[in-house]
Structure 1
Amino acid sequence: MSEEKVLAGKVALVAGATRGAGRAMAVALGAKGATVYATGRTTRTQVSEVGRKTETIEETAELVTAAGGEGIAVPTDHLEREQVKALLDRIERERGRLDVLVNDLWGGEHLVEFGKKMWEIDLERGLRMLELGVKSHIITSWYALPLLVRTGDALLVEITDGTAESNQPYREMFFYDLAKNAPIRMAFNIGHELKESGGTAVAVSPGFLRSEQMLDTFKTTEETWRDSVGKTAPKEFALSESPYLVARGVAELAADQGRARWNGESLYSGQLAKEYGYTDTDGTLPDSWPYFSRLMRGEDPGDPESYRSRP
Structure 2
Amino acid sequence: MTSADGPLRGRVALVAGATRGAGRQIAVQLGAAGATVYCTGRTTRAQRSEYGRPETIEDTADLVTRAGGEGIAIQADHLDPAQVRAVVGRIDAERGRLDVLVNDIWGAEGMFAWDKRLWEDDLERGLRLLRLAVDTHIVTSHAALPLLVRRPGGLVVEMTDGTAEYNAERYRVSFFYDLAKASVLRMAFALSEELRPLGGTAVALTPGFLRSELMLDHFGVTEAGWRDGVAKDPHFAMSESPVYVGRAVAALAADPRMARFNGASLSSAGLAKEYGFTDADGSRPDWWRYDAEVVGPGRPADPAGYR
Question: If the length of structure 2 is used for normalisation, what is the TM-score?
Answer: 0.96
- Give the match for residue 290 of structure 2: 291
Which residue does 1:277 correspond to in 2? Answer: 276
Aligned pairs (5 A) from 1:152-231: 152-168=152-168, 169-231=170-232
Would you say 1:13 and 2:14 are equivalent positions? yes
Give how far 1:225 is off: 1.3
Give, in whole Å, the separation in 2 of the partners of 1:227 and 1:302: 18
Shift of 1:103: 0.2
Q: How many Å apart are 1:110 and its aligned residue?
A: 1.6
State the match for 2:57 in structure 1. 57
Contact 2:37 2:71 in 1 (8 A): yes
Matched length: 305
* 3-state SS in 2 of match to 1:286: coil
Structure 1 equivalent of residue 130 of structure 2: 130
Q: Residues of 2 paired with 1:253 and 1:118: CA distance?
A: 37
Q: Distance in 2 between matches of 1:306 and 1:109?
A: 31
Match of 2:303 in 1: 305
Structure 1 residues 294 and 124: alpha-carbon distance in aligned structure 2, compared to 1, 3 A threshold: farther
Asked whether the equivalents of residues 286 and 308 of structure 1 are also in contact (C-alpha less than 8 Å), the reply is: yes
Change in CA separation of 1:131 and 1:289 when aligned onto 2, cut-off 3 Å:
same
Q: Aligned in 2, Cα 1:209/1:2: closer, same or farther, shift over 3 Å? A: farther
Unaligned residue ranges in structure 2 (runs of 5+): none
Name the SS of the counterpart of 2:162 in structure 1. Answer: coil
Specify whether residues 293 and 186 from structure 1 end up closer, same or farther in structure 2 by C-alpha distance, changes over 3 A only.
farther
Separation in 1, partners of 2:94, 2:131:
29
Q: Matched residue of 2:135: which SS?
A: helix
**Which amino acid in 2 is paired with 1:285?**
R
- 2:89 is paired with a residue of what secondary structure? helix
Aligned to 1:88: 88
Q: Deviations over 1:160-200 (max 9, x none)?
A: 00010011211130000011111111110100111001110
Compute the displacement of 1:284 (Å). 1.3
1:292 deviates by: 2.8
Change (3 A) 1:266 1:301: farther
TM-score by length of 1: 0.94
Q: State the 1:227 CA deviation.
A: 1.5
Distance in 2, matches of 1:79 and 1:221, equals 32
How far apart in 2 are the matches of 1:301 and 1:198?
45
Q: CA deviation at 1:289?
A: 1.0
| Structure 2 Cα separation of the partners of residues 289 and 115 of structure 1 | 24
How much does 1:300 deviate? 3.0
Go from structure 1 to structure 2 and tell me whether the alpha carbon gap of 1:51 and 1:182 turns closer, same or farther (over 3 Å shift): same
Contiguous gaps of at least 5 residues in structure 1: none
